[in-house]
Amino acid sequence: MKFDEIEAVKPTRESLAEAYAVLNGLLDRGAVTEALAEWEGLRRATSTWSSLTHLRFSQDTSNAEYKAEREYADALGPVISDHETSWKNRLLALDPALMEGQYGRHAVDIWRNDVTTFSPAIAADLEEESKLEADYTALLASAIFVFNGETVNLAGLTPYGESLDREIRHQSAAARWGFFSEHGAELDNIYDKLVKLRHKMARALGDENFTALGYRRMGRLDYGPAQVATYRAEVLKHVTPLVAKLIEQRRVANGLDTLYAWDEALVDPQGNPKPQGDHDQLVARANEMFDAMDPRLAAFYRQMNEGGFMDLKNRPAKAGGGFCTSFPAVGMPYIFANFNGTHHDVDVFTHEMGHAFQNYQSRNQPSLDYLWPTSESAEIHSMSLEFLAYPHIAPMFGKQTARYQRMHLIGALEFLPYGVCVDHFQHEVYANPEASPADRHAMWRKLESTYLPWRNWGDLDYPAMGGRWQAQLHIYRAPFYYIDYTLAQCCALQFWVKSQQDYKGSFDTYVELCGLGGSAPFGKLVAAAKLKSPFEPGALQAVVKTAEAALAV
């Protein structure tokens, strides 16, 4: 299969109405099994078209045709949701055994949750939400800087932020936050509209505020805000003090009187290890790395590479960040990233390969609902592969491999306080939907000083007054999608520990977990992989202690 060979029929309101009329006719005749099979094919085809449409817009946000197609997809999204909700309600009125025999109980549980997240009354609001999220994406993609004689975008600034030259690091940070300051009012306005819109939708669906709806939209069936709050407290208790100590060690190692925010990214006093080669060389060397890790992963990577299912080069007007999407009608995923010449290229590459491998391993699951797990489970696959790559990552870093491994482990620990800070901020925001933009900046400033007390913004006024959160796209585009990374990091660290004792056994367990896809909720998937739940007392503390001991060597 080649990416360029994928064809997806563009659905319309009329074609969808006709398709669901056929499905309802099958149910009327009692042909449940046939109806479910037809519905599965329709969903996979529609999802493939949607993925292609949004991928193309991300690849070139300035393309008028791609933007128009994305806007068409955004407008059609609520129509699709309306049909699916009505259909799921009809299925849920049947004897559950008819569906459970084909899909298992979990699919039915997913549908029961899904029907609570949509009503025709919020259709227009959902379309507006998608438009606002796209406005944020396009605004950040429009950022252009002439820096050090080079024209770069936000991703292109990243290498300068890790320079051994402190003044360049400072200038890079000043340029980045200067953009956010210049567009601060616009960013505040987009988010203010999103928050109020999401609150409005939640109220229309019978919720007090968006938090409960946000959790249901994330598909969280076996835990809620109370467990998450307890986990955040564990991070604050066990991880924040350790990271503060690591930051102080960095200040001393780098010979600094004060370590400012723009100094934090320089983890290694010799200079952060960089991958050995450009885009083309890294893509080629990945063959050697994946060959050493596991033949199943290696064969899959070749299929991705040779089929054109990766877009890793940074370029103007390309959306920032990295992600993995999929085309369920053909059973193939796709990796999107922005290489910038730093170690993040390898981090993002292995991370998104984890997502892609999981999706491929679960491509034959019987339900579209099982092709991806919920986000915190999905991030186990991606973050664990970052750690499982450690013993075989030398083709990417050469003589700097050991230094990269140390830097990556430090980064994994340092991410945890930031991750829970992002989550706590969103809980505060949606609990107080009438707060002003200034109030939200104050919320962030207070939480940042709690979870990241070492953070010193120096003369960078905009992030110092609480604007750092505006660079976190998940806050705008995927509400409550962030604690997921921290929960998964706890699990990924466990895979790292186990892999040092039995690499092949750990990788086999990893592959088995990938194959389960989303066929169970988070807690059951963690148990299936023989890991401790992050919500289990002591689970986080144990892996953090192991990591701390490794760094002390």
CA distances 330 to 7, 46, 107, 465, Å, are 10, 12, 21, 48
Identify how many contiguous H helices and E strands the chain contains and give both numbers.
25, 5
Q: Is 150 helix (H, G, I), strand (E, B) or coil?
A: strand
pLDDT confidence band for 553 (50 / 70 / 90):
confident
Residue 117: how many CA atoms within 13 Å on its side-chain side?
Answer: 20
| pLDDT tens-digit series, residues 250-298 | 999 999 999 999 999 999 999 999 999 999 999 999 999 999 999 999 9
Return the bridge partners of 333, or none.
Answer: 326
Q: What is the DSSP string of 289-344?
A: HHHHH-HHHHHHHHHHHHHT-EEEE--TTPPSS-EEEEETTTTEEEEEEEE-SSTH
Length of the chain: 553
Instruction: Give the mean pLDDT of the chain.
Output: 96
User: How many CA atoms within 13 Å lie on the side-chain side of 49?
Assistant: 18
- Which percentage of the chain shows pLDDT scores above 70? 100
Q: What pLDDT does residue 321 have?
A: 87
Look up residue 218 and give its two tokens. Answer: 């994330």
Q: Is the pLDDT score of 27 beyond 90? A: yes
**pLDDT at residue 478 above 90?**
yes
Cβ contact 270:403 at 8 Å: yes
User: 255: phi > 0 → left, psi -120 to 50 → alpha, else beta; which?
Assistant: left
Residues with Cβ < 8 Å from 386, sequence gap 6 or more?
Answer: 347, 350, 351, 354, 408, 412, 492
Q: What is the pLDDT of residues 354-393, one digit of tens each?
A: 999 999 999 999 999 999 999 999 999 999 999 999 999 9
Write out the two tokens for 198: 């999401």
Residue pLDDT, tens place only, 204-258: 999 999 999 999 999 999 999 999 999 999 999 999 999 999 999 999 999 999 9
Q: What is the mean pLDDT of residues 423-447?
A: 98
Query: What distance in Å separates the CA atoms of residue 517 and residue 527, rounded to the nearest whole number?
Result: 14
pLDDT of residue 198: 98
For residue 476, give every residue at least 6 positions away whose Cβ sits within 8 Å of its Cβ, in sequence order, or none: 132, 133, 136, 190, 191, 194
Closest CA to 519 of 85, 103, 47, 88: 103
Encoded amino acid at 106, one letter: H
Distance of alpha carbon 8 from alpha carbon 405, whole angstroms: 42
